[in-house]
A = this chain, B = another copy of it.
Amino acid sequence: MRKYNFCSGPAALPEPVLLRAQEELLDWEGRGCSVMEVSHRSPEFEAVAARAEQDLRDLLAIPDNYKVLFLQGGATAQFSAVPWNLLGAGQKKIDFIHSGQWAKKAMEEAGRYGEVNIVASSEDRNFSYAPAADSWQQSEDAAYFHYVPNETIGGVEFGYVPEVSCPLVADMSSSILSQPIPVENFGVVFAGAQKNIGPSGIAVAIVRDDLLDRALPDIPRSLSWKVAADAHSMDNTPPTFAWYLSGLVFQWLKEQGGVSAMAELSWRKSALLYDFVDRSDFYSSPVAEGSRSRMNIPFVLADERLDKQFLQESEAAGLLNLKGHRSVGGMRASLYNAVPVEAVEALVNFMADFEKRVG
């Protein structure tokens, strides 16, 4: 029996996607073999790849002057790829918003190749808010501006797209496909798949095509967006099953009404949980109002000695993976696209009952 899964990643996948993958796992489209067992260069797999790209383009209204790349190594490989691909045109400064652990990791790697300028930081309050744009100290000559629209660990989301004068790079791993985005305002959008796209082992990069010629000369071939773009993400064997599953998720998203429907749903789901937490004296949110993520919702119990009991009982009640990240403590419910409203209702009911019994 399937349970409700609030894992921050690798996260829940849509059940209809898993059912279809299961059904055709040994005999895909009547071909007598699995989709995992065909050449990535066969016409049948190329059709899978092309459809996945087109569906993603449709879902996010990606303009024609952007390349859509399906890559390996997750967002972390992109922490290397971004500076290697963008620092070859002379500018060495990189503007960063330091909003939490994922910004920090990207910053550390970028700082090995360029000069990091921290435009703003929310470290002073344990990364519990998105720094207001009027406080930012931008460079005049940055090669690019990197930010994390949604910090998975802190549960902090920027409610707007920064306006900057250099290419804007967004690590959208935990919020991509949860709402419409103005792709044309970005230079690069990248995301690991394992939250809102598909299984782990594949990442997506959406790159404005004028940025493909700025790479450092020594860039390793496997990190080059240009190489990937020229080869339609098949310079070498891609992770075919992860690509196929991501494509099934894109089809499912279209059937659900696309990213506008997902945005509406995410507001509904997150409001359900935040409203309950805000009304409660037992639970509280460590995240500042106005910066609260629709995707990752940390909350703490009034007495942390009850955390263990909460986790044991919630798991027994079929509510999986609610443990918070150690840097924030308490609990975290990740409400990605594949998590249904019913899961959040069940969580809130459990929380109310737990409070009544134990709080």
Contacts and interface: CB of A to CB of B under 8 A. Distances in A.
A25 B36 CA distance: 15
Contacts of A194: 237
A202 interface: yes
A271 interface: no
Contacts of A201: 72, 201-202, 238-242
A321 B241 contact: no
A80 B27 CA distance: 36
A2 interface: yes
Given A200-B36, A320-B32, A241 B242 contact: yes
A247 B120 CA distance: 44
A19 B26 CA distance: 7
A320 B42 CA distance: 12
Contact of A36 (B19, B199, B240): B199
Interface string A77-105: 10111001000000000000000000000
Contacts of A113: 218
Contacts of A32: 1-3, 5, 318, 320
A220 B72 contact: no
B39 A10 contact: yes
B27 A2 contact: yes
A202 B237 CA distance: 10
A177 interface: no
Interface in A109-143: 109, 112-113
Nearest to A235: B76
**Size bracket of the A interface:** 35 or more
A15 interface: yes
Interface string A134-154: 000000000000000000000
A9 B8 CA distance: 33
A5 to B, nearest CB: 5
B22 A26 contact: yes
A186 to B, nearest CB: 22
30 contacts: A1-B27, A1-B32, A2-B27, A2-B33, A3-B32, A5-B32, A10-B237, A12-B37, A13-B34, A18-B25, A18-B34, A18-B36, A22-B26, A36-B200, A72-B72, A72-B73, A79-B221, A81-B220, A109-B221, A112-B218, A113-B218, A199-B239, A200-B241, A201-B201, A201-B240, A202-B239, A218-B218, A222-B223, A239-B239, A241-B242
